[in-house]
Structure 1
């Protein structure tokens, strides 16, 4: 474990699924109920630090997580990014975006352009248990 790395010390959100190499967590941000992170368990800063097999496994997990979010929530757009500027620990953000969200079409880290659609937020939240059940079932068996 790297000293002072929050993603080494803790899951980094509500754990959805843990495998020997990676974990999927729910990291809901204010106004973004379908905000997930796929975190590589070992302390690695960059994607290119992984070997070929590890990169393939992580890429497949990322693609499957995105696919399941799209199937269950039908977002307007998916934002998928590996930023990690604040935490030197490899992780990918998966954020389902909807036209009624507070920032759309700007990034979630930009200034809000409207009040979020409360009914839309609650509708998304209501579908998360089924999404996460599918994630646990399909992602665990796809390793």
Structure 2
């Protein structure tokens, strides 16, 4: 299905590209939207579809296996207190899954990352997480190559 309007996930990677496969790609979200959440990844279906059920059964399985693999690596390398998984598509109606490492010390916890901050960000904790991202990125790319 072609988008009826400009789609940022069709026009660009949607973040820092970690791995691209024929059907999907994994990116790490960068910039202001991820500043308080360094372990914020997306699994993006390459073809423009809006809903998970737009995929064939085998494609659904392939997509969820990629989401699970990203979660597994995030848990191993970033050691979050919780991993949030979400597929919303209200703002960008192109199928993508958010895989977000969450910590009890993060500025929004336990609320969703899109809610209002509940406390100031912990700069020291964020810096420590940032330092671990290259190894996490490399592990995701290696596992899903």
Q: Where do residues 1-143 of structure 1 align in structure 2 (5 Å cutoff)?
A: 1-2=2-3, 3-28=5-30, 29-140=34-145
Write the deviation string for residues 35-79 of structure 1: whole angstroms up to 9, x where unpaired: 111100000100001001101110100001000000001101001
Q: Given the two structures, how large is their TM-score scaled by the length of structure 2? A: 0.94
Note the C-alpha offset of 1:30: 2.3
Gaps of 5+ in 1: none
Q: Given the two structures, how large is their TM-score scaled by the length of structure 1? A: 0.95
Gaps of 5+ in 2: none
Paired positions, count: 140
Alpha-carbon separation, structure 1, partners of 2:20 and 2:7: 18
Which structure 1 residue ranges, 4+ long, deviate > 6 Å from structure 2? none
SS in 2 for 1:92: strand
